[in-house]
Chains A and B, each alone.
Chain A
């Protein structure tokens, strides 16, 4: 199997790792968002959703481990590519033309990715940690809906959340079509469409996720 290791270690292989892990994460985000949107139905619906997840906990744990693995691989590989790619140009240009010859999402993948990673840590240390272990940070209640309300009542937290989702939109916009390009699914007829789908998907994810803090923090303050 050394051929496999070597293949994945090649420049194309590393792109493939990014694309495979990235697409997995993209699928995960979609499910995640659908779950989150139950918040809009109301407290019961959301709590019921979380309770359902609790019932299949062992399965969810497996998924979490796999997801964590995918995240780590995506991040590790991303950092490695970034370092290697930087080394490929030891002397930088005095004047750079990248602002004109690339689009914003594509050239900022490492930056947006890094910030999203910080967000992820924050996200896990609040919602995921509370849901799984402590319950409501103040009351210890396992009414998950109130945990959401609690965190988003912190405006600073909400703003950080929203900004991260904006960056996620950029990250996803490039990621989606980029994965297709990496797999070689670039066809004159379909590629423009893939790019559009990627943009629409990224916007849905970004707006969808960001709408929650906007709603809880700035519209109804959770007092419905």
Chain B
């Protein structure tokens, strides 16, 4: 473990509430390269609290890169400069002594800032309410092995299902589009036999909901895939597009 501490200048976005104006606040910190990025903020906050000042509001929970709660835009990159790593697993050894780091919230119309670096991502849940499920009640389902699923299909569905719903795709997309997030769920269920019954209405309802919530449209820049901490593939967006087109053409749904 390294001994040399890093001296850093942080430019942190501060905003009292959704409708309040925001601006950057500058803090100087000295931190161990072994600390995580969020531990650096913890320490900063502890110091601020000691002085009776308002700490920087940011969210995190599992700190293992799986719950999807954390998410800061660090020097223009959601979850920071290291690919396939969520903010909570980003460590300070990836930064250089003397560096200035800009920390901003995810910015999107559909993700209003609640305070400082915390945004409201409930729009994601609303997309899921629109159809991100298989309609089965508890009980009365067939035996688990009654539906054989080829291993590669199961693996592909898993890769789509690995999405942690953090919103980095929206934050990275220049159009603040939620298509990577949404397509991951549509893909998972379109690949699996369990999802076939509702395949058409699912994709139509979810796309309609995303549009309604103020996300942008995809222009295939693939920034989402580049910044996704779980490496969710843009081939899911392609599959969603295909599902959508096929559904619009062949399904009996009139909406």
Contacts and interface: CB of A to CB of B under 8 A. Distances in A.
Contacts of A177: 220
A102 B222 contact: yes
A41 to B, nearest CB: 39
9 contacts: A11-B217, A15-B217, A88-B110, A100-B76, A106-B220, A182-B220, A183-B242, A184-B239, A186-B238
Interface stretch (B86-94, B191-199, B206-214): B206-214
Given A3-B255, A89-B216, A107-B221, A186 B245 contact: no
Contacts of A100: 76-77, 226
A80 to B, nearest CB: 10
Contacts, number: 152
Contacts of B77: 97, 100-101
Interface residues of A, number: 46
A84 to B, nearest CB: 6
Contacts of A14: 217
B217 A102 contact: no
A93 B174 CA distance: 10
A7 B248 contact: yes
Contacts of B240: 12, 184
Contacts of B24: 94
B108 interface: yes
Chain B interface SS verdict (over half): mixed
Interface of A: 3-4, 6-7, 10-12, 14-16, 81, 84-98, 100-103, 106-107, 109, 174, 177-178, 180-188, 191
Contacts of B234: 181, 186
A89 B219 contact: no
A154 B75 CA distance: 46
B205 to A, nearest CB: 11
B227 interface: yes
A84 B248 contact: no
A90 B109 CA distance: 6
B80 to A, nearest CB: 10
B56 interface: no
